[in-house]
Amino acid sequence: MNYEQSWDLISLEAPHDAARLRESPMNDKLLPQSLEPERVIDARLGAALLGLSIATFRRLDRNGKLPGGIQLSERRRGWRVRDLLHWIAEQAGETDNAA
């Protein structure tokens, strides 16, 4: 799965979030494709990317089973898209754990 396909997956799984991105006043400042893997997303989009409920996503994070999130503020956490995609590949046995 490449990064473009992963964003298509988010659009399919969470159409309200895709619409929110399109309607955003920052829409004209979307990241270039080369930076998409570095995008930081919230738990809702992270759960959609992984095909999980938000509760399951948060439980896996709390138990240390997801890649480390980034503390964005006192009450806000985010995850890099590339870290979540790498985690998916590891779960599917598609990557070398020695890397």
Query: Domain extents for the chain?
Result: 1-16+38-99
Residue 77 is encoded by which pair of tokens?
């956490």
Higher pLDDT, 97 or 45: 45
Distance CA 68, CA 73 (A): 15
Over residues 6-26, the mean pLDDT reads 49
In degrees rounded to 5, what are phi and psi of residue 9? Answer: -60, -45
What confidence tier does 26 reach under pLDDT thresholds 50, 70, 90?
A: very low
CATH tag for 1-16+38-99 (out of 3.30.360, 3.40.50, 1.20.1440, 1.10.10)? 1.10.10
50-66 average pLDDT score: 95
| Alpha-carbon distances, residue 51 vs 14, 37, 96 (angstroms) | 10, 18, 23
- Per DSSP, 68 falls in state P
- Residue 21 above 90 pLDDT? no
- What is the overall mean pLDDT for the chain? 77
Residue 68 pLDDT > 50, yes or no?
yes
Rg over CA atoms, the chain: 14
